[in-house]
Amino acid sequence: MSKARNGKPVHSRVMTKYLFEQNLNFPDGHHHADRQVKMQCRDVSFWYGKKQALDRVNLDLYDREVTAFIGPSGCGKSTMLRCLNRTNEILPGTRLEGTITLDGQDIYDPALDPTEVRRRFGWVAQKPNPFPSSIFDNIAYGPRIRGMARDGDELRDGVRSCLERVGMWEEVKDRLSEPGTDLSGGQQQRLCIARAIAYEPDVILMDEPCSALDPHATDLIEQLIGELKTDFTIVIITHNLRQAAQVAQRTGFFHLGELVEIGDTETLFNAPDDRRCRDYIGGRYG
C-alpha cells in the first residue's frame, strides 16, 4: 500500500507488480529552477460538429521537458495534440473554446496567421512519412521555405547537423541523394524527426512515434527524445506505459475527453489520485 499526494492510502499491488515487471527507469520528474511554462491550456473544450471531444482541459507544458499523454483509445489525446498546433481547425465543423498560449501569446488570436503558428511546431506522425524526395531534400525543405538557409555550404551544414543530432549522419552520408522512402522504418522515423527540428520549432509534437517500429528502432527513438529535450519542449502520445515512464518528466492521463490527472511521471505511475488512472495503469482496462 502506498500513499497518494492527498495522503490517502492507495491499494496499488497491481500497479506495483506491473512496474517491477517492466523494470522501469523513471527520468527526473521534478522541475528544475530554470524550467519555464512554455504552453498553457485553460478550460479548453473541443467539438467535432455536435460531438464533444475535449472537456475543459487545463494543462501546462514546460520548456525543455517531455510530457506524455496516456489513456485509452478515443479519450481525446490526439485531439488535444492537434489543438496545440491549430491543425484541428482545418477540419470543417469543428469548434474550440478556451485559451491556448505559447510563450504567453494566445495562438488562436484572430490577428495571427495560422500557418505561421503551425510553423512553430514540429510534427512526428504515427507512421514514418518522409517526403517522396531525397534524404537531403527532406531535411532541407523547412529551412528553404522559411528562408533560413540558402543552397550551398550553409544548407549542407544544416542538413548534416540535423542528421548528426538524430544519429544518422554516418549511416546516410554517402546516400543523401537517395529517396528517403528507401530507408528502413526506423531510419525513416529518425529522418522525419530530423526534418521536424530542421526549421527550429518551439515545440515538437509526437503522435505515437514508435507504434510502427521494431524494438531496436523504438529504443533509438526513445534515446533521441531524451537528447532532444535539452533544446525543445516535447509532447508525446503513447499507449506504451513503459515508454511514457522512460522518456517523460510529466504524464497526463485522459479519459472520455477529460484530462483526469497530470503530474510528475513517477508520482502519477506509483500513486495516482484518481481511480480511473489507477485502473488504467494497473492494466484493468485499456
Lay out the sheet containing 121-124: strands in order across.
121-124, 203-207, 233-237, 66-70, 250-255, 258-264
Q: State the pLDDT at residue 27.
A: 66
Among 274, 282, 272, CA closest to 256: 274
Range of the domain at 146: 130-200
Q: State the pLDDT at residue 33.
A: 53
| 161 and 176 share one domain | yes
| 196 and 218 share one domain | no
Whether the CB-CB separation of 148 and 192 falls below 8 Å is answered with no
| 151 and 228 share one domain | no
Q: State the pLDDT at residue 148.
A: 76
| 187 and 219 share one domain | no
| 102 and 16 share one domain | yes
**Could you report the per-residue pLDDT of 133-182, keeping only the tens digit for each?**
999 999 999 888 887 766 788 899 999 999 999 999 999 999 999 999 99
Q: Is residue 2 part of a domain?
A: no
Measure the CA dihedral 145/148/152/155, to 10°: -90
Q: Is residue 29 part of a domain?
A: no
Q: How many domains does the chain have?
A: 2
Q: State the pLDDT at residue 10.
A: 38
| 52 and 110 share one domain | yes
Low-confidence stretches of the chain (pLDDT beneath 50)? 1-18, 20
- Among the candidates 175, 200, 225, a domain finishes at 200
Q: State the pLDDT at residue 26.
A: 63
Whether the CB-CB separation of 231 and 165 falls below 8 Å is answered with no
| 96 and 160 share one domain | no
| 15 and 98 share one domain | yes
Q: State the pLDDT at residue 285.
A: 73
| 272 and 161 share one domain | no
Q: State the pLDDT at residue 286.
A: 66
Instruction: Kindly report the pTM of this predicted structure.
Output: 0.88
Q: Is residue 26 part of a domain?
A: no
Give SS3 for 59: strand
Q: Is residue 48 part of a domain?
A: yes
| β-strands 51-62, 37-48 pairing | antiparallel
